[in-house]
């Protein structure tokens, strides 16, 4: 039997460099995993599967992993491990996969993690680099925003999905039910009708993905992403603005088009409502018979559509593509539920969430602004309107922040417009993380 005496200057933080477990059959204490980029990994002396015999001269035979950890925690200075190396010390092939987290994860609140201190907490939307998938339950990853740090443990795709389902089922029914169609807001982006997106108005909206409000509980918790740099000959990415009704999504869109109408473009929506005398087909709307509209729904032609006062309105994906083919930067305004339907390799949407500023700032900046009510009367913003905007923004972020590429606070209109312009420029000209599937489909 060969003993290897490994001397590592790990101080108290051994548990951040490796984890140990008790072998189910033999009862031996073995190294469960070595954390990528940690001290133990960098030393090159410790491998997953090595059997621990002594720590600082204290035999670990018969001890529980927690007792071994206690020895380590109370050790000062250099720690000497005596261990039996695992026979086959094949270096685990480190994957270099980047993913976007579609869920939040807090290791300190997870009783099942092998070592909470070794866990990597993350929030939905964050980009993670998966560096080790050798354990089917616990992967190792680090944040793309800080690749110099050592890796931490995260639940595997399969495990996190299971946790999400368990959490979902443990929640009271009401708080988890899908957003009802009647609560959705729908507004064709090129509208001339004063259709307000508020839930107080009588219209319904539908997106290409009917179950999308439950998306995060049903789909993969990690989405593989790649760095994408648009070439000058490629179409511009679709710019999708989302935000609570009244926050200023339309105003910002109008500001952009006013600034550069030859570049920024809003697609003309389709409607079944009769054309008014002063309107022109294809300018305010494409006026189509109900049957045509219905067949377009059937063929999934709309990114989003809805009904208002008995007439249908919708944003046709082909109209968007045509504008993009003509070299325009297409800007559309979607419901959060509609984001998923727009996520295709052809459109490569860049989603900007327009967020309300603080209550005080809203009071100040919206002093002279007005909201459109159900009766088309321009009314000053009231405290209830601000509250509704804040509440709605909070819910949107809670459910959909993983799809937001950028969050922009609409405080002062001029500075928000300038920020939006530079965000759009970066989205088109600088490398961005996009789903890997969008690139695979291209090739």
Ligand X SMILES: Nc1ncnc2c1ncn2[C@@H]1O[C@H](COP(=O)(O)OP(=O)(O)OP(=O)(O)O)[C@@H](O)[C@H]1O
Which spans of this chain sit near ligand X (rule: CB under 6 A)? 187, 196-198, 243, 245-251, 365-366, 369-372, 410, 413, 416
Of 31 and 334, nearer to ligand X (C-beta) is: 334
In the complex, least distance from residue 74 CB atom to ligand X, rounded to whole angstroms: 58
What's the closest the beta carbon of residue 197 comes to ligand X, in angstroms?
4
- Least Å distance, CB 12 to ligand X, is 51
CA 355 to chain centre: 16
Spatial distance between the Cα atoms of 240 and 334, rounded to a whole number of angstroms: 7
Token pair belonging to 155: 């639940």
Give least dist CB 376 to ligand X, A. 12
- Give the residue at shortest CB distance from ligand X: 248
Nearer to ligand X, 198 or 213 (CB): 198
Cβ proximity to ligand X: between 229 and 422 the closer is: 422
Report the nearest approach of ligand X to the CB of residue 218 (Å): 29
Nearer to ligand X, 116 or 413 (CB): 413
Token pair listed for 366: 């919206």
Closer CB to ligand X, 153 or 371, in the complex: 371
Could you give the angle at the alpha carbon of 381 between the alpha carbons of 379 and 384, nearest 5°? 120
Q: How far is the CB of 351 from ligand X (least distance, A)?
A: 15
CB closer to ligand X out of 105 and 186: 186
Q: How far is the CB of 336 from ligand X (least distance, A)?
A: 13
**361 and 411 Cβ atoms separated by less than 8 Å:** yes
Q: Say how far apart CA 313 and CA 293 lie, in whole Å.
A: 9
Name which of 127 and 413 has its Cβ closer to ligand X: 413
Structure tokens at 49: 């599967």
Least Å from the CB of residue 413 to ligand X = 4
Nearer to ligand X, 214 or 361 (CB): 361
């Amino acid at each position: 039997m060969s003993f290897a005496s490994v001397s590592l200057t790990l101080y108290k933080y051994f548990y951040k460099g490796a984890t140990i477990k008790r072998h189910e059959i033999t009862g031996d204490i073995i190294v469960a995993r070595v954390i990528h980029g940690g001290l133990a990994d960098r030393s090159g002396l410790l491998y997953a599967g090595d059997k621990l015999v002594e720590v600082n001269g204290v035999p670990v035979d018969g001890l529980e992993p927690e007792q071994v950890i206690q020895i380590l925690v109370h050790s000062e200075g250099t720690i000497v491990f005596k261990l039996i190396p695992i026979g086959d010390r094949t270096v685990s092939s480190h994957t270099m996969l980047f993913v976007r987290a579609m869920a939040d994860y807090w290791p300190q609140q997870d009783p099942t993690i092998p070592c909470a201190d070794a866990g990597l907490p993350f929030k939905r939307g964050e980009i993670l680099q998966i560096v080790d998938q050798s354990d089917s339950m616990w992967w190792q990853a680090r944040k793309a925003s800080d690749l110099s740090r050592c890796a931490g443990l995260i639940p595997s795709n399969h495990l996190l999905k299971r946790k999400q389902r368990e959490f979902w089922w443990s929640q009271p029914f009401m708080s988890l039910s899908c957003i009802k169609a009647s609560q959705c807001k729908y507004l064709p982006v090129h509208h001339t009708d004063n259709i307000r997106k508020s839930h107080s108005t009588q219209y319904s909206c539908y997106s290409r993905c009917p179950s999308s409000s439950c998306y995060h509980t049903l789909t993969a918790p990690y989405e593989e992403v790649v760095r994408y740099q648009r070439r000058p000959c490629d179409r511009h990415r679709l710019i999708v603005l989302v935000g609570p009704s009244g926050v200023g999504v339309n105003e910002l869109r109008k500001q952009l088009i006013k600034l550069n109408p030859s570049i920024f473009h809003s697609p003309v929506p389709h409607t079944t409502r009769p054309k008014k005398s002063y309107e022109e087909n294809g300018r305010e709307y494409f006026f189509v018979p109900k049957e045509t509209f219905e067949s377009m729904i059937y063929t999934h032609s709309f990114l989003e559509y809805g009904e208002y006062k008995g007439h249908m309105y919708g944003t046709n994906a082909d109209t968007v593509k045509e504008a993009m083919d003509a070299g325009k930067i297409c800007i559309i305004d979607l419901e959060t539920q509609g984001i998923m339907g727009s996520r295709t390799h052809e459109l490569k949407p860049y989603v900007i969430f327009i967020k309300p500023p603080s209550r005080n700032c809203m009071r100040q900046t919206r002093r002279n602004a007005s909201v459109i009510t159900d009766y088309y009367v321009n009314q000053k913003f009231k405290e209830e309107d601000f509250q509704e905007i804040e509440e709605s923004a909070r819910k949107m972020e809670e459910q959909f922040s993983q799809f937001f590429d950028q969050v922009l606070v609409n405080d002062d209109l001029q500075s928000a417009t300038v920020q939006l312009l530079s965000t759009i420029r970066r989205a088109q000209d600088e490398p961005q993380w996009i789903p890997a599937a969008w690139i695979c489909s291209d090739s």
